[in-house]
Chains A and B, each alone.
Chain A
Amino acid sequence: MTTVALKTAPDATNYPFDVDRIRADFPILARPVHGKPLAFLDSGASAQKPQAVLDAIQRAYSETYANVHRGAYYLSQAATDGYEGARKRVADYINAASADEIIFTRNVTSAINLVASSYGAKFLQAGDEIILSQMEHHANIVPWQMLRDRIGIEIKVAPIDDRGNFLLDEYEKLLSPKTKLVAITQVSNVLGTIVPLDDVIRLAHAQGAHVLVDGAQGIVHSRVDVQALDADFYGFTGHKLYGPSGIGALYGKMELLKQMPPYEGGGDMIELVTFEKTTYREPPARFEAGTPPIVQAIGLHAAIDYVDAVGIENVAAHEATLLEYATDRLSEYSDITIIGQADNKAGIISFVMDGAHAHDIGTIVDAEGVAIRTGHHCAQPLMDRFDLAATARASFGMYNTRADVDALLAALDKVRDIFG
């Protein structure tokens, strides 16, 4: 996996790509909000979509739409080609060994629930331990708690330090032969911390444990190679990768997927059904019951093409310059505290402001056209770790500029005007 550290980021005057040209590809960025230019700084929640994705969706519905895997007719075959083509594209993009190792899901949440339910049924039993990190999104906590309550596994939590660095030593102490699975984020959605996955996975495997990576925030800031990582499962979601909502993907090693029972039951995942007995298809079909998100998958394909054309390394480098700029600018203010200053960070910056609650900040900066996320970011245990109820968070996408950061800074002055 390649991650671009701040120190190696190119100079801001020498962007590796033309950000204005990229912005022109995203129609929504041209619309004003409350009469002000939009400064969209919430790509960590969901990214905006380039025209190429919108066109692909429009084309799919107007030219090649029918249900997949069913009809003997032309359109059904065309839709199936589009859907399965998307699977192949995802597999190539993250370097899976085979397209059959890619299961389409609704999002990362459903990918993790699938693993918790299906992998859990086959591989986990009472007394087994799994390890999560303190930075997990609720999506990578709650499914495991539900499984714990069902079958009696134990959940251990790998800690971070006050700056948000993942503590590899402490994690290593939690690992034991009882550890069966490590489920961990690649990048914290609140702190921006990049988890040292190579080490996390190597150490887990040394104990015979499998590793599930929540790549929701990781895949948008770095090149992902699941084979080089040696991840056993890797989940990501399309809508944060400039694609449509309603589509996510779960990568799983075929040797594991083959042993796992179905997740949901229904059409398309069966070989033969009688009222006495049903036999199931091989992965990935086994895990895709019912009509899948056909056009969403085709839209995701277009999004990956777009990201690949820009170059995710270029995106990461660009975001690193923005992160450095935003960190420097926010640090100039004594009333602002940046939450999460890990040594290795992706383009996410959380902060709190003296005298103003994050929710109030969100409302006031919105009036200036600045869209940021405020609240607990679906990571309440992490908020508790820092004794916070909420933070404000700016997260960067490929289309953001220093002007967006400046707009945020100016909008924060409005907050001071009101609360000062």
Chain B
Amino acid sequence: MDDELRELYQEVILDHGKNPRNFRAPEDANYESLGHNPLCGDRIKVFAKVNADGLIEDAAFDGRGCAISVASASMMTDIVKGKTVDQVDRLFATFHDMCTLEDPEISDEFSDDIDKLKVLSGVRQFPMRVKCATLAWHTINAAVHGEEITSTE
């Protein structure tokens, strides 16, 4: 159990949890969505600035949550910048598989990003925490597809 805990709370995650990147509410965002996890009451708001070509120029978040959900939001907002909405859809699907499947099929389309996101895949051993890791992704997904509120349920 200790090993699994250490894998869950890796230094990178603790760092992102304590010093989240992109923790702000940009005024020029043209998409935003409120994501909440009914299990624990966590709420985060994700903002995205998407240009006419569907490219995400900026992404940010605020709100509060556990170390896992904040770290995930922090990393997610870094990673999606410069990607198209379609690319983020595919990356989210892959990331979701990483968090839930024992032996996920990983395409090499985003291998650098996948390497970074691997630190979050420790949640696989903690089924109650998968929603913490995926909350920010669900929320940006909802935002860029035009839903104002989403939930992990």
Contact = CB atoms under 8 A, between A and B. Distances in A.
B114 to A, nearest CB: 24
Contact of B40 (A356, A364, A374, A419): A374
Contacts of A389: 40-43, 64-65
Contact of A359 (B9, B14, B43, B66): B66
Contacts of B42: 359, 389-390
Nearest to A383: B41
A418 B40 contact: no
A357 interface: yes
Interface string B34-48: 000001111100000
B40 A360 contact: no
A367 B14 contact: no
Contact of A358 (B5, B14, B40): B40
Contacts of A357: 64-67
B136 interface: no
Given A357-B65, A418-B14, A419-B67, A375 B5 contact: no
Interface string B52-69: 000000000000111110
A34 interface: yes
Contacts of B64: 357, 389
Q: How large is the interface on A (under 10, 10 to 19, 20 to 34, 35 or more residues)?
A: 20 to 34
Contacts of B8: 363
Chain A interface helix/strand/loop/mixed: mixed
Contacts of A356: 67
B68 A367 contact: no
Contacts, number: 55
Q: How large is the interface on B (under 10, 10 to 19, 20 to 34, 35 or more residues)?
A: 20 to 34
A61 B1 CA distance: 38
A80 interface: no
Nearest to A36: B1
A359 B40 contact: yes
B110 interface: no
Contact of B9 (A374, A376, A418): A418
A279 B129 CA distance: 51
A153 B99 CA distance: 46
B41 A364 contact: no
B4 to A, nearest CB: 8
B76 interface: no
A24 to B, nearest CB: 27
Interface in A355-373: 355-360, 363-364, 367
Contact of A367 (B1, B65, B128, B132): B1
B67 A390 contact: no
The 6 closest A-B pairs by CB, nearest first: A376-B41, A357-B66, A359-B66, A34-B1, A375-B40, A367-B1
Given A34-B1, A355-B18, A419-B14, 19 more contacts: A357-B66, A358-B66, A359-B66, A360-B9, A360-B66, A360-B68, A363-B128, A363-B129, A367-B2, A367-B4, A374-B40, A375-B39, A376-B40, A389-B41, A389-B43, A390-B41, A390-B42, A418-B5, A418-B14
15 contacts: A358-B40, A358-B66, A359-B65, A359-B68, A359-B129, A360-B68, A367-B1, A367-B2, A367-B5, A376-B40, A376-B41, A389-B42, A418-B5, A418-B14, A419-B9
